[in-house]
Amino acid sequence: MVQSLRYSQWVLRLSLAAVFLWFGVGKFINPDYWINAWLPQWIYGMLETFNISAKNFMYLNGIFEVLVGVSVVSGIFIRIFSVLAGLFLLGVMGTHGLNEVLVRDVALVGGFLALFFWPDRHLA
């Protein structure tokens, strides 16, 4: 049973890390795609208030997503980053409404909740 929990957790962690590392690195490789395809218009005004360009906002998102991926793979601060990633995804879900992104993010939030509530003695 313990071995099964360990394998299950590794599969979950590697899967979540792969998604966040893919999206995080993608924001550095092609930030214009992410800005044009996924950044809602109303956020531009908010960014201007804080004097942040859309590209820098994407870079900040990329940094956060890479940190989540590294945390989940390494096991360092895994509970903290699981909560932060879940909150981040709830924000994305609230921003984009009912669509395929919502379905993906519901599953990702579930995965991060599973890591957050994973028993300490089996968190490797």
The pLDDT of residue 1: 56
> CA-CA distance, 85 to 81, in Å (whole number)?
6
* Closest CA relative to residue 118, chosen from 84, 75, 88, 67: 75
Q: Which two tokens stand for residue 86?
A: 């879940």
Say what the pLDDT of residue 74 is.
Answer: 95
C-alpha 70/C-alpha 48 separation (Å) is 30
Q: Is the pTM of this model over 0.85?
A: yes
Please report the beta strands in 1-124, taking only residues with DSSP state E, as ranges in sequence order: none
Per-residue pLDDT tens digits for 52-99: 999 999 999 999 999 999 999 999 999 999 999 999 999 988 887 778
pLDDT tens-place string over residues 16-40:
999 999 999 999 999 999 999 989 8
**C-alpha to C-alpha distance for 34 and 67, rounded to whole angstroms:** 18
